[in-house]
Chains A and B, each alone.
Chain A
Amino acid sequence: EIVLTQSPGTLSLSPGERATLSCRASQSVSSSYLAWYQHKPGQAPRLLIYGASSRATDIPDRFSGSGSGTDFTLTISRLEPEDFAVYFCQQFVSSPLRITFGQGTRLEIK
């Protein structure tokens, strides 16, 4: 099973700053089958990025994803107040299907 390790555990930044979140896989993620989600308390997670770098529908362009192999990054170029949340990365392998999540990075207001 591929283990995803996210860092940092908590990131304290101010609105307007740039956020860089990391997701490292224990082995190479096939075809960059890596996604990022935003999760706010009391809400369902929201898909932000899939295929390592493609933005999902209606996701603002301040969110971008990059990386391949075992190292992936989510960047939020200029933080808005509504961006403070927990962010998870996710990968899958398809035969047989196995989906794993990172443990999350909490992005909090400094």
Chain B
Amino acid sequence: QVQLVQSGAEVMQPGASLQLSCKASGYAFTTYGFSWVRQAPGQGLEWMGWVSAYNGNTYYAQTLQGRVTMTTDTSTTTAYMELRSLVSDDTAVYYCARDLGWTSGSYTYYLHHWGQGTLVTVSS
């Protein structure tokens, strides 16, 4: 079955860089892309961006452009998200999620499978 296993909780200093991983298994890795989504305390879901596991193409939320980089490693079937210049507002639970993919002849970006989430706390 499809599984996405994320790296563990992090406590980060303001100004630091964060890297999270998302290990995928149970399906053909390069067939789908990944979104990263975060949820700050008491807030809703925020889409951060997307990376193709097929060719590495990316799309990033405009609010994070320049601070975020998303990559995949096909040899280890792992997706990565790096977020730089952390501030306290980056404190959140971060999720990776795999696309639903092809439905009715179109590739779709619904989020079908999710990792368990990683709590990131940014504090001095």
Chain A residue at minimal CB-CB distance from B35 = A99
Q: Are B108 and A50 in contact (CB under 8 A)?
A: yes
Closest CB in chain B relative to A104 CB, distance in Å: 5
From B35, B108, B114, A44 is in contact (CB under 8 Å) with: B114
Q: Are A45 and B111 in contact (CB under 8 A)?
A: yes
Chain B residues closer than 8 Å to A46, beta-carbon distance = 114
Q: Are A96 and B59 in contact (CB under 8 A)?
A: yes
The A1-15 residues at the B interface (CB cut-off 8 A) are 1
Q: Chain B interface: which of A31-39, A66-74, A75-83?
A: A31-39
Q: Are B59 and A102 in contact (CB under 8 A)?
A: no
Bound together, the chains give a CA A68 to CA B110 distance in angstroms of 17
Highest count of chain B CB atoms <10 Å: which of A37, A51, A90, A97: A97
Q: Are B108 and A56 in contact (CB under 8 A)?
A: no
For the complex, is A28 an interface residue (Cβ under 8 Å from B)? no
Chain A residues closer than 8 Å to B61, beta-carbon distance = 98
Show 8 residue pairs from A and B whose CB-CB distance is below 8 angstroms, ordered by the A residue.
A39-B45, A44-B117, A45-B114, A47-B111, A51-B108, A92-B108, A92-B109, A101-B47
